[in-house]
Amino acid sequence: MVRMKMSFRWFGEGFDSVKLWQIRQIPGMVGIIGTLYDSKPGEEWDLEAIRNLKKQVNDAGLELLGIESVNIHDAIKAGTPERDRYIRNYIQTIRKLGSEGIHMICYNFMPVFDWTRSDLAKPRPDGSTVLAYDQHRIDQIDPQEMFTRLDGNSNGFVLPGWEPERMAHVKELFDLYRNVTEAQLFDNLVYFLNAIMPACDEFDVNMAIHIDDPCWSVFGLPRIITCKDQLLRLMEAVPNPHNGVTLCTGSLSSNPANDIPDIIRSLKGRIHFAHVRNTRYTAPGVFEEAAHYASDGSLDMYAIVKALVDIGFDGPVRPDHGRAIWGEVAMPGYGLYDRALGSQYILGLYDAITRQ
Ligand code: DNO
């Protein structure tokens, strides 16, 4: 029987409020999805730093199952003449990770920003708080203001994809994309993937693109990894199986037209990593995150896990953004408690499904 591997995202010593020994005590937890959080997009990763990360994880009795993320430099996304230099660095990082036995890289291809939220701590009736998105509120602010707000409400943590050094140049970054259409962004992604596939083949590294979150254009920037058609188009454009997907249920659910179990089935063999979480859909362009437990949100979590089982998914899966509960102070979405609960729910569904 294939078995998906339950894992936990960890930002590294000094960046994460959660400790490896705590993660190790979560039942069924086998691996870590790690990163070098202080690396900058575009730079080649240091081999010693990779080895050190792996050793820390192994010493805690866990396996380093993949990286989230090796971020892509904006020159690659925007397709500027400097992109080849940054692609060469990326290839070097792939080679180093692969040679250290790390075979999955999660990345995204969203211009300027990674994920976007209007609220990092929306109170819920039970006193917990969640991340939330309201397009009407986003429409009233500019990108710089959104960064300032998010940065000021992140409990002192640097949010993934929102590095202050990059955000200091938001205006220039927007200028870079001024003439980049969705079609060009897609071509730039294909160019990047074609360039790195030989290294992925040689070192057996799976590339897993993350779904855009939310999955529509924000602040007028192009977004392309948004739905089944686009995902299949990308899989066909670069048919190498090392070109795959991070199936993020929460991101896909921002658009209720996305039939997530159907998308999972259509990507058989190409899902290299799964982020499983639940959201509560309120109205077009408005949603908030929820507990992983299906009845707490809008997603059919049973059907999602069932689809992963049915396609024989055996890669790493992780609980995703958790609510802030029990007074924990952590990076928004990335505390220990609610993600630990979420992992147990996913494993419970998995056990029940696979025993039927
Ligand atoms: C948000 C995460 C994203 C994800 C990147 C992948 O919490 O899901 O930051 O890691 O988009 O590159």
d(CA 98, CA 280): 38
Query: In this predicted structure, what is the pLDDT of residue 38?
Result: 94
Q: Which amino acid is located at 356 in the chain? A: Q
Query: In this predicted structure, what is the pLDDT of residue 167?
Result: 84
Gap from CA of 212 to ligand 1 centroid (Å): 9
Instruction: Please provide the DSSP assignment of 144-170 as one string.
Output: HHHHHHHHHTSTTPPPTT--HHHHTTH
Q: Which atom of ligand 1 is nearest to the CA of 68?
A: 10
Query: In this predicted structure, what is the pLDDT of residue 1?
Result: 52
Question: Residue with structure tokens 């070109």?
Answer: 243
Distance of CA 27 to the CA centre of its chain: 23
Candidates 247, 262, 267; CA nearest to 320 is 247
Provide the 10 A C-beta neighbour count for residue 204.
10
Q: Which of 8, 33, 36, 69 to mutate to test the pocket of ligand 1 (most atoms within 8 A of CB)?
A: 69
State the pLDDT confidence band at 161, using cuts at 50, 70 and 90: confident
Ligand 1 residue neighbourhood (C-beta within 6 Å): 68-69, 106-108, 114-115, 160-161, 210, 321, 333
If one compares 1 and 123, the residue with the highest pLDDT of the two is 123
Query: In this predicted structure, what is the pLDDT of residue 163?
Result: 84
Q: Which atom of ligand 1 is nearest to the CA of 251?
A: 8
Candidates 117, 301, 270; CA nearest to 208 is 270
Q: Report which protein residue has its CA nearest ligand 1's atom 1.
A: 115
Helix and strand tally (H, E) in the chain?
A: 14, 12
**200 by DSSP, 3-state: which?**
helix
State the pLDDT confidence band at 2, using cuts at 50, 70 and 90: low
Sign of CA dihedral 169, 171, 173, 175: negative
Contact (CB, 8 A) for 85 and 52: no
Distance of CA 329 to the CA centre of its chain: 22
Provide the pairing of β-strand 206-210 with 286-289. unpaired
pLDDT tens string 256-303: 999 999 999 999 999 999 999 999 999 999 999 999 999 999 999 999
Gap from CA of 107 to ligand 1 centroid (Å): 8
